[in-house]
Amino acid sequence: MSRYALLCAAGLVGIGACPGVALAETKADDGQNAPVSMHDRVTAGVGLASVPSYIGSDQNVIVPMAAAQGQIAGLGFELEGTSLSLDFVPHGDARGFKIQAGPVASLRLDRTTKIRDHAVRALGELSTAVELGGWIGLQKTGVLTSPYDTLSASLSYQHDVAGAHRSYIVSPEIDYDTPLSHRLYASLSVSADYVGRRFGAYYYDIDGAGSRASGLPTYSGAHKAGWKDWNANLMVARSITGDLTHGMKVFASAGYGRLLGRYARSPVVAIAGRRGQPSFAVGLGYTF
Q: What does the pLDDT read at residue 174?
A: 97
CA 237 to chain centre: 16
CA 11 to chain centre: 8
Q: Please report, to the nearest 10 degrees, the dihedral formed by the alpha carbons of residues 121, 231, 96, 17 taken in order.
A: -40
Cβ(4)–Cβ(193) below 8 Å: no
Alpha-carbon gap, residue 203 to 22, rounded angstroms: 41
Q: What does the pLDDT read at residue 103?
A: 97
Alpha-carbon gap, residue 201 to 207, rounded angstroms: 10
Range in 8-22, 105-119, 159-173 the model is least confident about: 8-22
Q: What does the pLDDT read at residue 265?
A: 98
The structure's pTM equals 0.88
Q: pLDDT by residue (tens digit) across 249-276? A: 999 999 999 999 999 999 999 999 999 9
The β-bridge relationship of strands 83-87 and 75-80 is antiparallel
Q: What are phi and psi of 137, to 5 degrees?
A: -155, 170
Q: Does the pLDDT of residue 158 top 60, yes or no? A: yes
User: Which residues contact residue 117 at a Cβ distance below 8 angstroms, ignoring those fewer than 6 apart?
Assistant: 53, 57, 58, 59, 272, 273
The pLDDT confidence band at residue 90, using thresholds 50, 70 and 90, is: confident
Cβ(185)–Cβ(21) below 8 Å: yes
Average pLDDT, the chain: 87
Mean pLDDT of 83-90: 92
Q: What does the pLDDT read at residue 50?
A: 95
Alpha-carbon gap, residue 51 to 277, rounded angstroms: 8
Q: What does the pLDDT read at residue 22?
A: 45
DSSP secondary-structure letter at 23? B
